[in-house]
Amino acid sequence: MSDSRSGKKREGLSSLASLMPRAYPSMEPDDVAALRAFAWWSRAVPERVAKNARPVRLHNGVLLVHTSSSAWAHDLSFLRDQILKAIQTSAPHAGIRDMRIQVGPLPAVPPRTRDLSVPDPIVPLETVPSEIAASLAHVHDDALRESIAYAAKISLAPRPAKSKQKK
């Protein structure tokens, strides 16, 4: 498919993982893996654990998790093997082979990207176009796939007409 404006041939859809190094050239492979692991953590661990323990770094396959206290570090050490196995299963491309737990500062919890209680000003499409749906089939992370599909539905939706303001 060619782009009529530039005369260049447009590429097919790319995976988010393949776009990250082009968007952030200084990003190391461990950084992309860390993003995957950190995203998994926030969705998969129980809320009480997420409040008191967070991943802070991934280096050479070792995930470093900070806890709010030594008591939490001790408690989490009993769950270490279970969490490690779950993260290796849920985020296999992150390449995590070990996990270290220590007391340290907890990074801020990222804000939710979308408040479901507030209706969108734009009505999203019911379904994504077939070529996007086919590409989404290759995204193995369910939450990521749903987020990308929602973003596509919103970005491709017709925009509401802007109301004219009275002067």
Average pLDDT over residues 133-162: 83
Report the distance separating Cα 114 and Cα 147, nearest Å: 10
Residue-range domains of the chain with CATH: 24-103 (3.30.300), 113-156 (no CATH)
64: closest CA among 40, 110, 96? 96
pLDDT at 136: 86
pTM over 0.85: no
Count Cβ atoms below 10 Å from residue 47 Cβ, excluding itself. 7
pLDDT at 162: 57
In this structure, which amino acid lies at residue 97? R
Choose between 121 and 90: higher pLDDT: 90
Mean pLDDT across the chain: 77
Choose between 16 and 52: higher pLDDT: 52
Residue 86's contacts (CB-CB under 8 Å, 6 or more residues apart) are 44
How large a percentage of the chain has pLDDT more than 70? 68
Q: How confident is the model at residue 133 (pLDDT cuts 50, 70, 90)?
A: confident
Lowest mean pLDDT among 19-23, 31-35, 80-84: 19-23
Count Cβ atoms below 10 Å from residue 49 Cβ, excluding itself. 18
Q: How confident is the model at residue 30 (pLDDT cuts 50, 70, 90)?
A: low
Q: How confident is the model at residue 58 (pLDDT cuts 50, 70, 90)?
A: confident
Q: How confident is the model at residue 1 (pLDDT cuts 50, 70, 90)?
A: very low
Decide if 21 contacts 27 (C-beta within 8 A): yes
Q: Tens digit of pLDDT for each residue in 59-114?
A: 888 989 999 999 999 999 998 998 888 888 877 877 889 999 999 999 887 655 54
